[in-house]
Every structure is written in C-alpha cells, then in structure tokens.
A and B are shown apart, each in its own frame.
Chain A
Amino acid sequence: SYELKQPPSVSVSPGQTARITCSGDALPKKYASWYQQKSGQAPVLVIYEDTKRPSGIPERFSGSSSGTVATLSISGAQLEDEADYYCYSTDSNNKSVFGGGTRLTVL
C-alpha cells in the first residue's frame, strides 16, 4: 500500500527555520496538505495544494514540493509551533493517505 514517509522528529531553536519533509512516489502528480496537531487538540490545516495557506495561518508557515518530496517550512519558529505535523495526499487511485507524523520540538 502507498506510504508517505516523514521523519519522526525535528528540532529547531526559536527563531530558526524548521523544515519537515514528506516523501511519496505519487507526489509529483498529487497535491500535499499539512496539518498541525497540538497536544490534546484536533488537527488544524496549515497548508494545502502544496503551497497555499488558509486564512488565519501565520505567514511563517509555507509549503513547497519538488519531485517526490513535499516540504513544510516554518520560518522563525516560535515556542507555540511545537506540535505534531502530518502530511496528507492521495495515491494514484485517489486513496487518502496520511504520513506517520513528525514531532516538532522548539528549544
């Protein structure tokens, strides 16, 4: 079955840029979305269609995609950005798949 692979954890110092990757064979032809989930809360959409940011999401969140890798970048990471981040996409048969998630630590 199709998989989206994310690093289990990423650490960044406050004010630095955090980058979280998501790799999948279908990503050259399929959009990726990204979700932030803070402890005990429901996920929140932060990026969709590879690069688009929903209203209300800070500009420091951005997305990109090249080949089989989609990337979520958080420029000037803040303590409040500490959370689990999940990528999402579909396979060649339009079946929905989430990545395994990445825990972002800001310290």
Chain B
Amino acid sequence: EVQLLESGGGLVQPGGSLRLSCVASGFTFHNYAMSWVRQAPGKGLEWVSAVSGDSASTYYADSVKGRFTISRDNSKNTLYLQMNSLTAEDTAVYFCTKDAPAPFDYWGQGTLVTVSS
C-alpha cells in the first residue's frame, strides 16, 4: 500500500524559512517522480514543484521559483521542500504526491504551513 507522510509544517514569520519532509513507503521510491502541491485555505489546488526519480530534473511554479528548493534522498525514501523568504501568500496545506504512472496518483494527508507575524 502506497503511503506518503508529510511533516515539518507550522507557524513561521514572514521572511522566515521552513523545510517540509515526506516519507514514502509501499513503492520503489527512486523509480518515480514526486511533486508538492499546495492548497491555500478555502482555495483550489496549486502545483508547486516536481523532481525526477534520480533528482536530475527539478521544476518550479513561477510563484515559488528562486525561493523554494525541492530535493529527495532515495536512501531514506524521503522528499523535501526547502521554503525560504516565506510570505503570507505561501500559507497553505502542502501535499506530497507520487507522479507516475498517472499525474499525482497518490497524495499524502498534507501539512499546514502558516506564515504570520
């Protein structure tokens, strides 16, 4: 059974940093691209970032490019999202997703990031 468990969310001040983690199980982690998708309170889904299975390729939404960094440690079956220079617009639930064979075919339960002073 595929399981994705996010952690690392919390309250952070504007301009601060946070690192999210997602531990994966139930599939061969290094074979699959992974993504982060976020959802602001009461709003729709927004794709944030993706990384290939071998970490060779990374992709970012324009809204986070230059501030967020996606990475993975295949030895630990873990996906990360380093978030810097956070603003109130980054307040959201962040979901970790497995991206193949279908886009976002499995989702974690999400971790809430709140940016506020």
Contacts and interface: CB of A to CB of B under 8 A. Distances in A.
A98 B102 contact: no
* Interface of A (DSSP majority class): strand
B44 A101 contact: yes
A43 B44 contact: no
B104 A88 contact: yes
A96 interface: yes
Contacts of B47: 88, 96-98
A3 to B, nearest CB: 12
Contacts of A99: 44
A43 B45 contact: yes
A42 B107 contact: yes
Interface residues of A, number: 21
Contact of B46 (A33, A49, A98): A98
Nearest to A1: B62
A83 interface: no
A100 B44 contact: yes
B68 interface: no
Nearest to B47: A96
A33 B45 contact: no
Interface string A52-69: 101000000000000000
Interface of B: 35, 37, 44-47, 50, 59, 61-62, 95, 102-110
Interface of A: 1, 33, 35, 37, 42-45, 48-49, 52, 54, 86, 88, 95-101
